[in-house]
Amino acid sequence: MGVEWGAMRGRASTRRPGLSPVSDCFAPHGIPFTFFHEGGYAGGAGFVWTGVLENSIVVLVVSLFSGLVWNRLAAQTLDQR
């Protein structure tokens, strides 16, 4: 099962827009926002700082929302006892 899953994941990652098997092309990295561009022979690789900031904000918002939901569910469970 692990081999098939790895093959499917590899195939899905190569079909992602912007990725190319050619070494002199550009490839964006990051979900949901691009935080790094991998450049070709002439360079162009580097961090996209707005993407790093946006990804950090997404992580912060999702973690705060998850903590809020968890605390409310835990409080309801304790009130029912």
Average pLDDT over residues 58-67: 97
User: pLDDT confidence of 11, banded at 50, 70, 90?
Assistant: very low
Structure letter (DSSP) for residue 75: H
Task: State pTM to two decimals.
Answer: 0.61
pLDDT of residue 21: 61
Q: Is pLDDT above 90 for 63? A: yes
| More reliable by pLDDT, 30 or 60 | 60
pLDDT of residue 19: 55
Q: Name, in order, each residue with C-beta under 8 angstroms of 27's C-beta and a sequence gap of 6 or more.
A: 18, 19, 20, 37, 38
The token pair at 8 is 């499917």
Q: Is pLDDT above 90 for 44? A: no
* Overall number of domains in the chain: 1
Please name the amino acid found at residue 54: E
Q: Name, in order, each residue with C-beta under 8 angstroms of 68's C-beta and a sequence gap of 6 or more.
A: none
